[in-house]
Amino acid sequence: MNKRKVFILIPDGVGIRNFIYSSFPDDATRHNLDLTYWNLTGADISEMGYSEIKLEGKPGPIADLYKRAKIDAELNFFTENFRDQVYQSYKFPSKGSGIKKRIKNVVVSSLIRRNSNKNGVIRLQSNMEKAERKTPYFKHCLEVLKKEKPEVLFCSTQRALTTVAPILAARDLGIPTVCFIFSWDNLPKGTKVLDTDYYLVWSHHMKAELVTYYPWVDEARILVTGTPQFQFHFDSEFIIPESEFYSRYDLKKGRKYLCFSGDDITTSPGDQVYLKDVALAVKDLNRNGHNMGIIFRRAPVDFSNRYEKILDEFKDIIVPIVPAWKTLGDHWNEMIPEKYDNSLQTSIINNTFMVINLGSSMVFDYVSYKKPCAFINYDPEGEVMLKDVSVIYNYVHFRSMPDRNAVLWINSKEEIKKTILQVVDGKITQTIELAEKWFGIINDLPGQKATSRITKAIGEIAEKNE
């Protein structure tokens, strides 16, 4: 039986992590798929041992204006349609200055005003696609697909403008298109830039979201597969043995470590204050007979220096372990993970007893090891925040939580010590059970089978198109 030729469109580092560093390539082979990575990043995928075609060019400026307008118009439509102001909190002010920037903002604002309804959103999507079809970039994509003739084009995310032209070119040639909704919070934010023939989603909960926000999408073409994001945690080969891990990162033997997991600077600009608050709490616990430390893992895409003062002040307590990501340029799609980062993250979880952060999906990484997560639930002192913490926890994706006790809540810096001791004393059985229930809502289980389900789905789509 001949293998089915599949193009995998990779616009960013998360796509590399999910669909190259996971068992996805091996599962693709088992499902008789011949993969070629259509690469939009600065990474060299051929050096990793896989077939690669570099995608050359970039989207047009007109399409970018329509995309910007579509996101805010969509959020306005959601606000009106669902009678819920939460969708307005997903908006961010436009950055930059200068005459050109101001002109673009005026154009975008005008488009938003005239299209903040269902038909308007569909119209903006159509206009964005029409604009892209006129670009040299689209023509290049068309030429590549005519030459290579893949049976399916699969995209690792729904939100990148750079992927619109390749998807349109495939559509014009009758090649089935598939996209993966890459994060648990993406659909309510209005980030679905792509219209594809099929969608792969994390869970039945996400499938219901997709139908709710985009009722014109055929429910039969939304396939529940789970996500590769957590799959590494179910493979012991990724875990660095404790003695080796402690030695490699100069951890103190006999000391128990918790993890402080940083957020990106946009979500939590006051993260350095939270880290200091946790360090002060741990320092006080150690004065009272405990032997604890903090492993600090910053967000992989955060290359700021905002933590340096705190790390220096508490170097006896905090051990920073930098994610194994590298930046190959100035653009977001040039922030690339190294394969080692999967081992690094799983080993940090394996060697810490809890994680503290501001509302991240690390709750699911930790519950994979039956370990708890504590959500910070207060505003940092001395920091001007774009959004209060209360706004963040009202985001739609947190409403999937079956019970607030699925995490531990730190409502003030004074509660940090109490929360840590609650974990140390083992009073977390209910938290773990509820977090596991939440994980089952968010991600199709068993988690270790995600890439097998994804590759099987791609193969079946190719077969339907014969």
Phi-psi region of 2 (alpha: psi -120 to 50; beta: other; left: phi over 0): beta
Percent of the chain with pLDDT over 70: 98
pLDDT digits (tens, 9 = 90+) for 24-38: 999 999 999 999 999
pLDDT digits (tens, 9 = 90+) for 193-245: 999 999 999 999 999 999 999 999 999 999 999 999 999 999 989 999 999 99
Do 117 and 85 sit in the same domain of this protein?
yes
pLDDT higher than threshold 70 for residue 90? yes
- Measured at the CA of 443, the angle between CA 343 and CA 171, to 5 degrees, comes to 95
**Residue type (1 letter), 363:** V
pLDDT digits (tens, 9 = 90+) for 252-294: 999 999 999 998 887 888 899 999 999 999 999 999 999 999 9
Residue 128 lies in a domain: no
Residue 316: is it exposed, middle or buried by C-beta count within 10 angstroms (0-12/13-18/19+)? exposed
What is the chain's mean pLDDT, rounded? 95
Do 174 and 300 sit in the same domain of this protein?
no
Do 69 and 208 sit in the same domain of this protein?
no
* The domain boundary residue, chosen from 122, 143, 170: 122
pLDDT score of 1:
63
pLDDT score of 136:
97
Domain interval for residue 433:
231-442
pLDDT higher than threshold 90 for residue 381? no
Residue 17 lies in a domain: yes
Q: Could you tell me the pLDDT band of residue 384, with boundaries at 50, 70 and 90? A: low
pLDDT score of 16:
97
In this structure, of 76-90, 252-266, 304-318, 325-339, the range with the lowest mean pLDDT score is 325-339
Residue 368 belongs to domain with CATH number? 3.40.50.2000
Residue 298 lies in a domain: yes
Q: Which of 53, 48, 71 is CA-nearest to residue 10?
A: 53
**Cα–Cα distance, 440 to 193 (Å, whole number):** 27
Mean pLDDT score, 424-428: 95
**Cα–Cα distance, 86 to 59 (Å, whole number):** 31
Do 99 and 26 sit in the same domain of this protein?
no
Do 354 and 240 sit in the same domain of this protein?
yes
Residue 319 lies in a domain: yes
Do 311 and 176 sit in the same domain of this protein?
no
> Which 3-state string (H, E, C) describes 188-237?
HHCCCCCCCCEEEECCHHHHHHHHHHCCCCCHHHEEECCCHHHHHHHCHH
Do 50 and 71 sit in the same domain of this protein?
no
Q: Could you tell me the pLDDT band of residue 333, with boundaries at 50, 70 and 90? A: low
Do 288 and 411 sit in the same domain of this protein?
yes
Do 360 and 270 sit in the same domain of this protein?
yes
**Cα–Cα distance, 466 to 461 (Å, whole number):** 9
Residue 127 lies in a domain: no
pLDDT score of 167:
98
Residue 129 lies in a domain: no
Residue 361: is it exposed, middle or buried by C-beta count within 10 angstroms (0-12/13-18/19+)? buried
CB atoms within 10 A of CB 388: 12
Name the pTM for this structure.
Answer: 0.95
Q: Where do the H-state alpha helices sit in 45-90?
A: 61-82
pLDDT score of 166:
98
Do 258 and 372 sit in the same domain of this protein?
yes
Q: What does 262-283 look like in DSSP terms, one character per residue?
A: PPPTTT-TTHHHHHHHHHHHHH
pLDDT score of 332:
63
pLDDT higher than threshold 80 for residue 79? yes
Residue 30 lies in a domain: yes
CB-based contact 338:347 (threshold 8 Å) = no
Do 144 and 162 sit in the same domain of this protein?
yes
Structural domains of the chain, count: 3
Do 198 and 292 sit in the same domain of this protein?
no
Mean pLDDT score, 340-368: 97
pLDDT digits (tens, 9 = 90+) for 107-162: 999 999 999 999 999 999 999 999 999 999 999 999 999 999 999 999 999 999 99
